[in-house]
Amino acid sequence: MLAAGLLFPSLISHVLGGAVPRSDLIPRSQLPSIPSGYSPSELWVPGDDVIRLTVGVPPKDASSLHATLLDVSDPSSSNYGRHLTKDEVAQLSSPDPESVKAITDWLGCYGITPEQRSHSGDTLSIVVSSVRANALLAANFTAYTHNTTNTTIIRTLSYSLPAYLYDHIAFVYPTTQCVGLQLSSRRKTNQASAFSTSCTGVVTPKCLQALYGIPSLPANASGNSLYVSSLGGTGANPNDLQTFLTKYRPDILHGSFAVLPITESQNTDAGDDEGNCDTQYTVGLATNVPVTYVVAGDKENGVLMSDLLDTANFLLSLEKPPLVLTTSYVFDEPAADDQDLQQMARAICNAYAQLGARGTSVIFAAGDGGAAGGMSASDGCGQKVFIPTFPSTCPYVTSVGSTDDISPEVAASFSSGGFSNLFPRPSYQDSAVNAFLDKQRNANAGLYNSSGRAYPDVATQGVDFAINVAGKGVGFSGTSASSPTFASIVALINDRLLASGKSPLGFLNPMLYSKGVAAFNDVTKGDNGDARCDAGGFNADTGWDAVTGLGTPDYDKLLDVVTGHSFNKLHSGAARVPSISRLLYTIIWMFTAVVVYRHIAH
């Protein structure tokens, strides 16, 4: 297979006249063999399918974008909350015009015109046959089937670029990258406990409202929005949502979500546990905040990193991007030997910085592989190092881990956390993370990069969420449940800000690591070690830690931090779930458990 790929340049001049001479081509990426877990598809015939290639163009000055984002996101700055317009962000993110011209001229030599460009021009897309893609990139595109998921992708084991274009192109996707099918947030189901009405053994909206002081009073500010990102064509079922609300939020009479497909994506009303959990806990917690389900990709190809970039670029093209975006899918952070995929990860991270600069809070699940990272059996353990998860390692998103139990909350053992090998630690984390590292001493030495971006940033409950799938109650666990929970809290705080004429929160982290620290309940017990690995992972500890971040949120305190007024100062207690003390909550929880036990026993 590899030999065939390397022979293709000799055919270029025959297929397309005036092609680049072989001597001018430089190999850009090359795999030694077919990636583990994949097999060539016997049904695929070259030329039968078209390939949508995304070409990344390096930004001219990414540092200015990042500096501006931090400036408008820092509560101590005079520019705090002064988010940028669509065109202002595009100007900060634009590539060098020389690079754009070089790429478009190159494509023009092959009769190819870009079909789509991002608003800032840092990515462009072309749609070509596999034969033309092979000629363009000196490649040998072939269909591969993932043996576990039975999804099919088209990839090449190598590709090359003309020497003069080498520095003008950040990445070309898809080519040799096969990371997409490795990992999404882990779920587990438990039919037996799904429709318990107490908080014993199951988490419900009322349980979360009481635990974190989340109000049930409907949001009423205009201009608010909460988007849920679906990758790989994952569906969410509106009928399941209605069954869920009838059971757990009967006061929400017309709860719904809009569906917004991008490219050729379509929502499947059948729904699954992932999409249903995301929509049921955003609609069910962020009362009356408009929720939109954004669908990227398709089920045939599975969940791909390109879905992340497609979603971000689509949202950046809108005149009004969402104020909150939550995503419950994660990937292994690209390794150092995959430069193209690393460049793509940087481009995705820059897209999230652009969204943050426009006022969007970008929120991601941390992942469910503990400190080991990935979900496949060899990830992390085989290399005896911790594998960080992406996009949580991007400094411009807010990463959410998971907790378990109630009194006290403890770290969920599956909750991913650690340190990036790709992105350096941002300055807003220095104080909190250095304090954690000082207590680590030599624990897990050599297994992680202590100077990398640390994650997660915060946490919420993530075990045994009651959801409805296909009309049946099931239990759902994972940081996939934690991310929409925290996103709902942010959306409700935005409602209060908008109602008082203030800017939405936007990029959260500089605020969270400064004024916001006092608004979180510190989680000091538990760890994210994994039985598959020799190392024990990281321990929860006082202050920030690499399992639960800053801890779990207190809605009233967080609202007070950003507005100077808690919910209790703004509304009467009768209009919301009471903000009871954790001690009183524990007493009620224990009493309920005894009553339920006696009822079952008889």
By the 8 A CB rule, do 465 and 477 touch? yes
The verdict on whether residue 543 carries a ligand-binding annotation is yes
Give the Cα separation of 361 and 484 in Å (integer): 12
Report the 10 Å Cβ neighbour count for 424: 11
Report DSSP state, residue 473.
Answer: E
At 389, give phi and psi (nearest 5°): -110, 145
Residues forming the active site = 274, 278, 480
The verdict on whether residue 433 carries a ligand-binding annotation is no
The verdict on whether residue 167 carries a ligand-binding annotation is no
Give the Cα separation of 299 and 181 in Å (integer): 11
With a CB cutoff of 8 Å and minimum separation 6, the contacts of 235 are 267, 268, 269, 270, 271, 272, 275, 295
245, 314, 481 from 358: Cα distances, Å: 32, 14, 26
By the 8 A CB rule, do 550 and 544 touch? yes
- For the chain, how far is it from start to end, CA to CA, in angstroms? 67
With a CB cutoff of 8 Å and minimum separation 6, the contacts of 573 are 579
At 187, give phi and psi (nearest 5°): -125, 155
Give the Cα separation of 163 and 232 in Å (integer): 35
Provide the b/e sequence for 397-407 (b: ≥16 CB within 10 Å): bbbbbbbbebe
Pairing of strands 324-327, 258-261: unpaired
The verdict on whether residue 506 carries a ligand-binding annotation is no
By the 8 A CB rule, do 542 and 524 touch? yes
**Can you say whether the dihedral through the CA atoms of 363, 368, 374, 379 is positive or negative?**
positive
Exposed/middle/buried for residue 198 (C-beta within 10 Å: 0-12, 13-18, 19+): middle
96, 181, 488, 580 from 227: Cα distances, Å: 32, 23, 10, 30
Per-residue three-class SS string for 235-261: CCCHHHHHHHHHHHCCCCCCCCCEEEE
Give the Cα separation of 358 and 322 in Å (integer): 9
DSSP H helices, 166-237, are 205-212
Give the Cα separation of 408 and 411 in Å (integer): 10
By the 8 A CB rule, do 361 and 507 touch? yes
What is the per-residue DSSP string for 199-216?
SSS-B-HHHHHHHHT---
- Which of 516, 514, 515 lies closest to 486, judged by CA? 516
Helix (H) or strand (E) segment spanning residue 302: none
Give the Cα separation of 226 and 288 in Å (integer): 10
Binding residues for Ca(2+): 522-523, 543, 545
Residues of the binding site: 522-523, 543, 545
